[in-house]
Amino acid sequence: GTRDQRWEMRVRTVGGRRIVHLLDRTGSYTSERIRVDFVANASHELRTPLAVLLGYVETLADEAGDDPATRKRFLKIMFDEAKRMQRLIEDLISLSRIEADKYRAPDQSVDLAALARDVCGELSAGGGERAQDLRLELSEIPPVRGDRAQLSQLLHNIVGNAMKYGREGTPVTVTLAPESDAMVRLTVSDEGEGIPPEHIPRLTERFYRVDSGRSRAMGGTGLGLAIVKHIVERHRGRLDISSTVGKGTTMRVLLPVHTVIKA
Ligand code: ADP
């Protein structure tokens, strides 16, 4: 790989001989850099809509505010930018909460089928102009061991992406089925333009986007899949992303079954 190696040198003297230890600090260096980049990226993502907002406030305070049609148009833009900042801040708060919960295993018994029905209902009701055909295919599955609110967010982000990046007029299919005695499988498939393979390993990084113009136009924060990854890790599940350019994308999540320990 191309990652930077970071070494720390320690020198000891034992019986008149100098012993040099080289310690590999690459790991901690990398996580420190990820944290620094994250703060820089988050600040940048907030600064952009804020600058737009301030620009319009100033213009409205000047002569442009006198014309009712202009005022209305500007207020709509300002509202959209403020909403973008709100979504971003909500996603940042979610991410830090999920991270803070990392070492507390989730322990609710969750009916994933009921949750999927609710989330699909909300998304198809609030979807606006993009009327995607949402198909729910449910098999008999046992309850999952998890955190209900976080699993709802996971479904929202994955199904929401399939609707955002799917092709108009093609279906989005949400399937729930048993994977094994211990795991339940959730799959969400769309027939959108797909993702080139070199991007797939990086999609769960914070603020990573294949096409940032497209993501922003769709109202994306670039944090949705980072949140999904953290939720899956906390649940000791698995996330697999497979995609074919021109055909579509399938996200597959495995989640552990809620087992009742019998005495
Ligand atoms: P965003 O808010 O940009 O949608 P996400 O973290 O949810 O952020 O997703 C990261 C990126 O992964 C998106 O910007 C998009 O490029 C890509 N992506 C996610 N889901 C899909 C999908 N179903 N089809 C195509 N691309 C997708």
DSSP letter, residue 6: -
Residue in 92, 193, 203, 240 to alter for ligand 1 test, most ligand atoms within 8 A of Cβ: 203
| Single pTM value for the model | 0.86
The SS3 call for residue 91 is: helix
Q: Which atom of ligand 1 is nearest to the CA of 162?
A: 23
CA of 117 to the centre of ligand 1 (A): 22
Distance of CA 42 to the CA centre of its chain: 14
Count of positions (residues) in the chain: 263
Q: Tell me, what's the pLDDT at 1? A: 39
Residue in 154, 158, 186, 209 to alter for ligand 1 test, most ligand atoms within 8 A of Cβ: 209
CB 189 within 8 A of CB 252: no
Tokens 């976080």 appear where? 150
* Cα–Cα distances in angstroms (integers) from residue 75 to residues 45, 64, 80, 84, in the given order: 21, 12, 9, 14
Sequence-ordered alpha helix ranges (H) in the chain: 26-61, 68-100, 112-125, 148-165, 212-217, 224-234
Cβ(203) – ligand 1 distance below 6 Å: yes
Taking 70 as the pLDDT cut, the residues of the chain under it are 1-5, 27-29, 127-132, 262-263
pLDDT tens-place string over residues 144-162: 999 999 999 999 999 999 9
CA of 165 to the centre of ligand 1 (A): 7
Helix then strand then coil, % of the chain, to nearest 5: 50, 25, 30
Q: Tell me, what's the pLDDT at 2? A: 47
Q: Are strands 248-256 and 183-189 parallel, antiparallel or unpaired?
A: antiparallel
Q: Tell me, what's the pLDDT at 65? A: 75
Closest residue CA from atom 8 of ligand 1: 222
Cβ(225) – ligand 1 distance below 6 Å: yes
CA–CA gap between residue 44 and residue 36 (Å, rounded): 12
DSSP letter, residue 170: S
- Closest Cα partner for 231 from 146, 163, 164, 174? 146
Cβ(190) – ligand 1 distance below 6 Å: yes
Distance of CA 250 to the CA centre of its chain: 15
**Residues sharing a CB contact under 8 Å with residue 115, sequence separation 6 or more, in sequence order:** 148, 151, 152, 155
**Residues sharing a CB contact under 8 Å with residue 252, sequence separation 6 or more, in sequence order:** 185, 186, 187, 238, 239, 240, 241, 242
Q: Which atom of ligand 1 is nearest to the CA of 219?
A: 2
pLDDT tens-place string over residues 131-146: 568 999 999 999 999 9
CB 193 within 8 A of CB 245: yes
